[in-house]
Amino acid sequence: MPFLAGALAALGAGWVGFPHAIYKSRPQPVDFSHKVHAEKAGTKCEDCHAFREDGTFAGIPSLSTCAACHTAPMGTTAAEKNFIDAYVTPNREPDWASYAQQPENVFFSHITHVKLGQLKCEQCHGDQGASDKLRPYQVDRISGYSRDIWGRTLFQSKAAGAVPGMKMDDCVDCHRKQGLSHSCLDCHK
Amino acid sequence: MDREFITRGVKRCSGGKFLLWILPWVAMLIFGLYSAGLCLVKGLNQTNMDNRFAFGLWIFLDLTVIALGAGAFFTGFLLYILKMKELRAVINSAVVIGVVCYSGAMCALAVDVGQPLRFWFTFWYPNVHSMLTEVTFCITCYLTVLMIEYLPIVLKNRKLRDVPEFLVFQHELHKLIYVLAGVGTFLSFFHQGSLGGLYGVLRGRPFAFREGLAIWPSTFFLFILSAAAVGPSFVLLTTWLVEKISKKRLVRPEAMQMLGRISGLLLAVYVLLKTIDTLVWINRTSPGNGFPAAQYYAWHPFGTWILFTEIALLGMVPALILLTPKLRARTGWLVSAAAMACCGVALNRFVQTVQTLAVPTLSFDKFMTYTPSWQEVGTFLAVLAYGVLVYSFSFRYFQLFPDERELKLEVAQVEEEPALVGRY
Amino acid sequence: MQRTRRDILLFMGGGAAGAMLTPAPWRLVTDAAIWSENWPGIPRPARGEITARYTNCALCPAGCAVRARCVAGQPVSLAGVAGNPLSQGAPCAFGLTGHQLPYHPQRLKQGTPEEAAAAVRGAMAKCGPGESVAVLDLAPGRASSWTYRRAMAAVANGVYLAPPRPLGGAAVNLAKARTVLSLGAPVLDGWGTPGNVHAARANFRLIQAEPWESRTAALADEWLPIRPGSEAALALALKDPKTAPSAAQATGLTEKQILDLANELTASGPALVLSADDLPEALALNQALGAWGQTLVARPEVPVPDAWKKAAPERVVASVPDSSIRVLFIDESVPGSHIPWSAVEKKLVRDNPVVVAFAWSLEGYGRHAQFTLPTAVYPELTSDIPPAIDSPAATFRISAPLVAPPARMTDPSAFIAKAAGMDAGNALQERADAIHKSGRGTLFTYADGKSTPLKDIKPDAFWKSLNEGACWVDDAAVGRASWPAFLSSPHDTQAEPQSTAFPLLVAFAEPRTASLTSPLMSKLYQDSDLRMAPNTAALHPDTARASGIAGAARAVLETQYGRCAIGVIPDESVPPGMLEVAAGPEVLDICGAFTRAKVVAA
Amino acid sequence: MIAPNSKSQPSRERQRAVSRYGMSIDLDRCTGCGACMVACAVENNVPPAHEGATARKGITWIRVFKVDNGEEGAARRSVFVPVLCQQCGEDTPCVHVCPQQAVEVDPATGIVGQMPERCLGCRYCMAACPYHARFFNWWDPQWPAGMEKTLNPDVAPRMRGVVEKCNFCHGRWHAAKERAAAAGKSEIEAGAYVPACVESCPTGAIRFGDLKDAASEPAVAAKDAHSFRLLEKLGTEPKIYYHSKRDWVRQVAAAPKPPNGKENARG
C-alpha cells in the first residue's frame, strides 16, 4: 500500500513535474510575428534568413535588415513602437535566442540541405512562417540545449509531416532514409 | 554492544579492539578518498601520467586485484560445478574477496577515466570490436553476480535472520547458487581473458602484441589460466593471514592443501604455456613486426632478469613447491609458495601495463619512466583500505568460515588464554 | 493507522521503483553527460561572416605580406600571400601567431603620457650645452623614423640614434648568387625574407661554417663545423691563402678544405659571404670576391617628401659621448634589432635623465625607463615597413591595422613631434604621395594578386590600396658604383674580454629580438623541444660539468656587462666551449655581438 | 565478442571511400621552423601550453622532432621529422580499441576521426598508437583573457579529460564542402581542401592530396623509391609518406635501436 503510494507519487513527479522543471524559459526580446511579415510584407524565409555569398547561412537577420523597412514605426501596435524605440533608434541589436541553434561540436550546412538536398525550411523548422507569436525560448537547465533540439514533445511522433527534433538521431534517421552517409566526421567538428 | 550481530558460537574481540583495528584503515581510506576527489575535481593533471604513460599505477592495480579476485569464481566453480566439497570451508571468504577486488577495481577505473559522467556511453554505444567493451560488460555483470552471491552471506547474519522474509529470500537465492556459480564462471573466464586481450591486441605495441587462436591473442588464455592459478593461492594467503591476525583456526589444513594443490597444478600449466608463448613471440611475432625482441630488454632497468623472475622464480618454483605433497604439508612452504605465485602474476600484470608503455616504438623515441604522484598512490591505498575494511566487517559479523565453530570446540582450551590486542 | 518505519521504507522503495519508470533519471544522466561537453570554462568561438583581409607583418624587417582570415572582422588566423614578389607567400612561426599579440597577458595597458610629457618638457628646458635630446629608433627607415629625425633637427642639440644597419644598409641580391658562404648567419632560419630565401635557395649552393649544427647547418649543402669564434680567421684565410695554415689551426678544418673552399668561391661565382654580425673580415672577403654590384648592391632610397630633407643624421649609439643624453625617447613599438641597455645607459647624463620608452609590453627597455607609454602592437598599429635586407629594389608597404587598438594608446611619433614643437602631420600618407609623385615602380595588390605600373594609379587609389594590403616595388636601376666606404669602415664591436674570465662563446639559436611572442609559441618550446624558450641556453654536458652546473635546470649567465638567470638544456650537439642561447630581453641586455660569457650555478 | 576483423573493415573503407586523403613530407626540405605546429594549433583551437605542461603532457597534433644520425662532432647530421597522426588505413590500431566508438575511419575521406564529445577519456587508444600521435587534455582548455576572440569557429574547443588528435583539419573539409554546395556541386575538387600545416609550410615540404587520384602529389610521392612510411612493418598502412634522398634519414622509419647511452636531451 505505501509502496504503491510512493510509486504513484514518483510517477506523477517524473511525468508531469519534471518535464517542466528541467527547462528554464525566457521571452524573445521583440514581439515578432512571422505571419504578418509573410502575409502583409509578403516576404519569403530567405529574404531575411539569407545566405552569404560564400554559402554560409546568416541565420537570424541583424538589425540592419529590419531597419531597412522599420526606419520609422510601420503601424501603430505597441510592439512596433517598442521595437523602434528600444532597438532601431538606439541602433542596438536585439539579443534574439535561436530556437534551432545546434551545439558547438556540430557542423550543419544549411545550403547543402536547401540547395543540394532540396529540403523546405518547414521540414525541419516547422511552419514558423505561419506563427503569429514567438514562443518563449526554452533551454535545458543542465545541458544548455534549446528545447527544439530535443524535440518539443516528450516523445517524437514519427508520423509523416510531423516536425522532427534536431537531435543526432533525427539527423541520422533522415540520412539513413535517404541513403546518405552518416559518419561522425560528416557533421561533427 | 554489537554482540547480537555476531554469529552464534564464534568468539570475536571486543568492540573497542575492533575499533582500534579499523581506525588506521579508515584513516587511510579518508586520505585516499581525498586524493581521488582531487583527481575527479581538478582532473587527471593531478597524476604523473602523461601522453606516453597513458596508463599507470591504477590500471596495474585493476589488472592485479582482478586476477587475485579470481579465487571467487574459481573456488565457486570447483565447489559447485566440480563438487569439491572441501572448498565449502573457504567459499564464503572467497566470495567476499571477489566482491572486494572487483568493486575496488571498478572504483579505481571510475577515477582513471577523464570523463566519469560518460561512463554509460560504453553500454549505450558499445564498440563490439573493443576488448575494453568486453571487459566493462563482463566485470559489471560479474560484480552483480558476486553481489547476489554475497547477499545470502549477509542475510545469514544472526540479527537479520529475525526478518522471516530475508530468511526465505536467502534460501531461495541459495537454490540459485549453482546457476550463479555457472554464470559467474562463464563471465569471469571472459573478462579475465579480455583483460589479457586488452594488451595482446595492440598491434601498434609489438612488445605486447601476440598472435592467437581465432580472434583472441594468446594473452587472452594466459590471463585466464594465470588468474585461475593464483585465485586459490590468494584465498589461501588471506585465510592464513586472518588466522594469524585473529589468532584462530578457521579452516582444516586439508582445505588449505587442496587450494595449494589446485593452484600449483594450474600454475604449472600456465608456466609451460607462458614459456611457449614467449618463445613464439621472440622468434616469430615480434621480428615479424620489425622489432627484434632482444631490444626490449636493452632498456634498463627492464633487462631479461624481469623475464626470468616472472617465469622461473615466481612461476616455476612455487608451482613445484605446491605440487610436492611433502612441502605442501608444511604451512610455511605452502604459504610462501602461494605468496610467490601471487607476486609472479602481479609482476606479469606490471610488465604488461608499464613496460609496454615504457619501451619506445619510434626510432627517435626515448625510453621513458614514470613515478606515480601522491594522489595516485592515495587512490591506490583507498582501494586497499576499502578492501580490508569490507573484509574485516564481513569477518566480524558474517560467517565466512563454516568450520570455525567446530574447530573452536576442538581447541577450546586454547581459547581460554587472554585475548591479545589486535585479534578479532 | 499509524505509520511504522517499515511503511516509510516501503514508500521510499515504491518511489524509487516508480521513478525508474519516468524519463527523469534517464534524462538527468544524459544531461549530465552533455553538460560535460560544454561545462563552464570552455569558450564558444564567435560566429559571423568570414572574410579575407590583407596587411603586412610588422614583426620583423622582412615585412611579409599577410592574408588574415577574419570572422565578423576579427582575424582568427594568418597566412602568406601567394605570388607576392617579396615574401612569396611563405610565413614563419612567429608571424602566424601575430594576430594573438594584442591579447598577450604581459601586454602593457596603462601609461602616464601627461606626466611623461611634463617631465620631458622640464628636462629639455634644463638641457645644458654638451647635453642632448635623443631618439633611439629600433626600426629605422620608417616614415615615423623620418618624423623623429625632423623632430631632432628641430630641437637644439637633438640626436637621432639607430642600431647599426646590417651590411651598412646595402642590400643582398640572392637571385644573383651561385655560391653562398654563411659564417654562422641563420640564412634558412629568419635571415632576410623567408619566402625570398627559399625561392632563391634552389639556385645557390649554401656552405654553412658554424660551430654547432643550427637549423641552417642541418639543411645547408655543406656544413663546416669550425671551432667557436674562428669565423674571422676563416674569412681572412679565404681572402689570402697565405694565412691558411693558421686558419686551419683556429678553425679545426684542414688546410685543403680551406683552399678548396677559397677556389670554389672564386670559381663558381657570383659568390656571397654572410656573417652573423657583419664581421669586417667577411665584408672584406665580399669585396675581394667582387660581390659588389652582383650579390651585394646599393639599394635606391625610397622617395621622401622634399619638406623632410631637413632632418637629423642617423647615428649609432657608440658615436655619442658618454653621459651626454638628458632626454631619451626609445621607440620599440615596432620590433627591431636590440641594443644592450648597458651600452645605452652609459650615454645618459648622471643627474636624473628622462627616459621615455614607447612599447606594448614591459619586457624591453620599459624595465629601465622612467616612463613607459603603451603603444599599439601589430596587427593594431599603422606603420610602413622599410625594405628588407634581401630586397635589391626599394619597396614600400604599410602594416595596416586588422584590429582597432584599445583606448589610451600613445602614438610615439605624435608624442615626440609634439615634444619638439612640430606637427607630425600624416607622415605616412605624405610619403606615399611622394612615392606616387616619383611615378616609378609597380604596385602589387594582394587581394587580386595583380601588379600595376604606378603611372596608371591615382594618388588616392594608391593610398587606399596600400592600406588594404599592397606593396610598391621600385624598378629604378640599382647603383653599380664602386665598393662603398661605409662597408670598409667596420662599425663598432664591443671589445672582447680575455677568454680566461669568460670561457664560453655565445651564439644565438633564435631570432635576436626582445619582443614577446604569442602565448601559443609555448607549443614549440614547452610542449615540444623544437625551439628554445626566451632566456634559455643549450650547452654540452661537459661544459655544464666544467661550469659546475651539471644536471641543473637553471643557472646564471654572466658576461662583462652583467648577469641574468637562464634556463639550461644539456645538448651534445652543442660543441664544448659554446653557449647556444635563445634571446630574451634579460639575455640581450648583457650580450652584444661576439659576446663571451660564463655560466655559474644559480 | 565480435572479431576485430582486421581484413573486412578497411576493405569496406576502400570500396566506399570517395577519396583517401594522404600526405607527403619531404624531410630534405623541412627547416624545423615550427610554422606547421603553430598553424595547426591556431586552426584547431589548441590552447597555449598550461604552465605545468611538458613535452610529455602537451598537445601538439603535429610535432617536429630533431633526429640525429647518432654520430659525434663533424660527422653528426640532423634532420627534422614532423610527426602527426599517420591516418592508418589498414587495421587502424586506435579504432578497434575504443570501447564506445569515439574513433572511426571516415568512409568518405579515409580520415581517422576522434570524437571528443563521445570520448570517455580511458586513453586506451593512446596506448594503442605506435606513433604517439594522440594527446590527452590533462587540463581544462585556457586562453589568455581576450584571446578566445581569435578562436576558429569551424572547430569546437575540446574539454578536459578527452583525447584529441590530428584530423587533417577536418573543419576545412566541411568549409570546402559547403563552398562546393553553394556552387551546386556535391564533391570538392582537388586543391579546394588543404590542412593548415600544408598551407603554412614555408618551404612546401608538406604536400596534401587524394591518394586515389594518381596525379596528386602524395600519390606520386608514394611511388618514389626514396619514400617511406613510419614502422611500415606493423602493417598499419599509414597515409603519411616521408621522403628523403639521404639513406641514413630513411632509417627513422625502422624500429628503435637499443640505447647507446647517449640521449639527445632536445628530442
Each residue of C414-464: pLDDT tens digit? 999 999 999 888 999 999 999 999 999 999 999 999 999 999 999 999 999
pLDDT value, residue D3: 42
User: Any CB–CB contact under 8 A between D77 and chain C?
Assistant: yes
What residues are paired with C562 via a beta bridge? C559
Cell 680567421 appears where?
C233
Cβ–Cβ under 8 Å, residues C437 and C71: no
Cβ–Cβ under 8 Å, residues D127 and B356: yes
pLDDT band at A147 (very low <50, low <70, confident <90, very high): confident
pLDDT band at A124 (very low <50, low <70, confident <90, very high): confident
Would you say residue C514 has pLDDT above 60?
yes
pLDDT value, residue B346: 95
pLDDT band at D259 (very low <50, low <70, confident <90, very high): low
When scoring D106, D174, D179 by the number of chain A Cβ atoms within 10 A, the one with the most, hence best to mutate, is D174
Least CB-CB distance to A142: which of C25, C32, C42?
C32
Contact D130 B362 (CB under 8 A): yes
ipTM value for the complex: 0.91
Which partners does chain C have (≥3 C-beta pairs < 8 Å)?
A, B, D
A87 half-sphere exposure, CB direction, 13 A CA radius: 20
Contacts of D242 in chain B (CB under 8 A): none
Cell 594467503 appears where?
B237
What whole-number distance in Å separates Cα of residue A47 and Cα of residue A123? 18
Would you say residue D110 has pLDDT above 80?
yes
When scoring C5, C26, C36 by the number of chain B Cβ atoms within 10 A, the one with the most, hence best to mutate, is C36
User: Any CB–CB contact under 8 A between D152 and chain A?
Assistant: no
pLDDT value, residue A157: 53
| H or E element, residue B287 | helix B286-288
Q: How far is A17 from chain C (nearest CA, A)?
A: 10
User: What does the domain layout of chain C look like in residue ranges?
Assistant: 5-31, 113-154+301-473, 171-297, 504-601
Q: How far is C215 from chain D (nearest CA, A)?
A: 6
- Average pLDDT (A179-189) is 89
Least CA distance to C30: which residue of chain B? Answer: B118
Summarised one tens digit per residue, pLDDT across range B219-239 is 999 999 999 999 999 999 999
Would you say residue D164 has pLDDT above 90?
yes
What whole-number distance in Å separates Cα of residue C409 and Cα of residue C572? 46
pLDDT value, residue C545: 92
Q: How far is B162 from chain C (nearest CA, A)?
A: 15
Contact A14 C44 (CB under 8 A): no
Q: How far is B192 from chain C (nearest CA, A)?
A: 29
pLDDT value, residue C490: 53
Domains observed in chain B: 3-416 (1.20.1630.10)
More confident residue, C371 or D12: C371
What are residue B397's phi and psi, to 5 degrees? -105, -20
What are residue C219's phi and psi, to 5 degrees? -110, 5
Would you say residue C487 has pLDDT above 80?
no
Residue C24 identity (one-letter amino acid):
A
More confident residue, B421 or C379: C379
pLDDT band at A161 (very low <50, low <70, confident <90, very high): low
Q: Over the Cα atoms of chain A, what is R_g?
A: 20
What are residue C80's phi and psi, to 5 degrees? -75, 170
Chain centroid to Cα B185, Å, comes to: 15
Neighbours of B119 (CB within 10 A): 17
Which partners does chain A have (≥3 C-beta pairs < 8 Å)?
C, D
pLDDT value, residue D2: 43
User: Any CB–CB contact under 8 A between A184 and chain C?
Assistant: no
List of residues 6+ apart from C2 with CB closer than 8 A: none
- Average pLDDT (D252-257) is 86
Q: Please, which contacts does B259-262 make with residues 24 or more away whose CB atoms are closer than 8 Å?
A: B259/B75, B259/B87, B259/B90, B259/B232, B259/B233, B259/B235, B259/B338, B260/B232, B260/B233, B260/B236, B260/B322, B260/B328, B260/B334, B260/B337, B260/B338, B261/B322, B261/B323, B261/B328, B262/B78, B262/B232
pLDDT value, residue B414: 47
User: Any CB–CB contact under 8 A between D70 and chain A?
Assistant: no
Contact A115 D182 (CB under 8 A): yes
- Average pLDDT (B376-385) is 95
Which partners does chain D have (≥3 C-beta pairs < 8 Å)?
A, B, C
**Closest C-alpha among B113, B289, B130, B214 to residue D128:** B130
Would you say residue D13 has pLDDT above 70?
no
List strand residue ranges (DSSP E) for C503-595, in order: 504-508, 536-539, 554-559, 562-570, 578-582
In chain B, pLDDT over 90 holds for what percent of residues? 57
pLDDT value, residue C335: 87
More confident residue, A93 or B158: A93
The 8-class DSSP code of residue B215 comes to T
Summarised one tens digit per residue, pLDDT across range C56-82 is 999 988 999 999 999 999 999 999 998
- Average pLDDT (C393-408) is 93
Chain centroid to Cα D225, Å, comes to: 23
What whole-number distance in Å separates Cα of residue B412 and Cα of residue B418? 13
pLDDT value, residue D45: 96
More confident residue, B11 or C578: C578
- Average pLDDT (C131-146) is 94
Would you say residue B8 has pLDDT above 80?
no
pLDDT value, residue C3: 67
Instruction: Work out the mean pLDDT of chain D and round it to a whole number.
Output: 88
Summarised one tens digit per residue, pLDDT across range B15-29 is 888 999 999 999 999
Pick the CATH number of C113-154+301-473 from 3.40.1350, 3.40.50, 3.30.460, 2.30.30: 3.40.50
Surface of D (55-74) touching C: CB under 8 A: 55, 57-60, 63-66, 68, 72-74
Pick the CATH number of C504-601 from 2.40.40.20, 3.30.2350.10, 1.10.630.10, 3.30.450.40: 2.40.40.20
User: Any CB–CB contact under 8 A between A17 and chain D?
Assistant: no
- Average pLDDT (B196-200) is 91
In chain B, pLDDT over 70 holds for what percent of residues? 96
pLDDT value, residue B84: 87
Contact C36 B120 (CB under 8 A): no
**Closest C-alpha among A147, A189, A177, A181 to residue A165:** A147
Would you say residue C468 has pLDDT above 60?
yes
pLDDT value, residue B416: 44
pLDDT value, residue C129: 87
Summarised one tens digit per residue, pLDDT across range D112-163 is 999 999 999 999 999 999 999 999 999 999 999 999 999 999 999 999 999 9
Would you say residue D6 has pLDDT above 60?
no
Q: Quick one: fold of D8-253?
A: Alpha-Beta Plaits (3.30.70)
Q: How far is A56 from chain C (nearest CA, A)?
A: 8
- Average pLDDT (B60-81) is 89
Going C180 to C182 to C188 to C191, the CA torsion angle's sign is negative
Going D102 to D106 to D107 to D110, the CA torsion angle's sign is negative
- Average pLDDT (C341-348) is 90
pLDDT value, residue A152: 66
Contact A143 C35 (CB under 8 A): yes
pLDDT value, residue C498: 61
Residues in C whose CB is inside 8 Å of some CB of B read: 29, 32-33, 35-36
**Cis status of the peptide bond prior to B301, with omega within 30 of 0:** yes
Summarised one tens digit per residue, pLDDT across range B135-190 is 899 889 989 988 988 888 888 887 777 777 777 887 887 788 888 888 888 888 88
Chain centroid to Cα B53, Å, comes to: 23
pLDDT value, residue B349: 94
pLDDT value, residue D260: 57
Enter the pTM of the model. Answer: 0.92
Least CB-CB distance to D157: which of C42, C78, C91?
C42
pLDDT value, residue B1: 58
Residue B2 identity (one-letter amino acid):
D
Instruction: Work out the mean pLDDT of chain C and round it to a whole number.
Output: 90
Grid coordinates representing B314 are 615466481
Cβ–Cβ under 8 Å, residues B191 and B62: no
Would you say residue C280 has pLDDT above 90?
no
When scoring A51, A104, A168 by the number of chain C Cβ atoms within 10 A, the one with the most, hence best to mutate, is A104
pLDDT value, residue A160: 53
pLDDT band at D32 (very low <50, low <70, confident <90, very high): very high
Q: Quick one: fold of C171-297?
A: Dimethylsulfoxide Reductase; domain 2 (3.40.228)
What whole-number distance in Å separates Cα of residue C575 and Cα of residue C541? 9
pLDDT band at A162 (very low <50, low <70, confident <90, very high): low
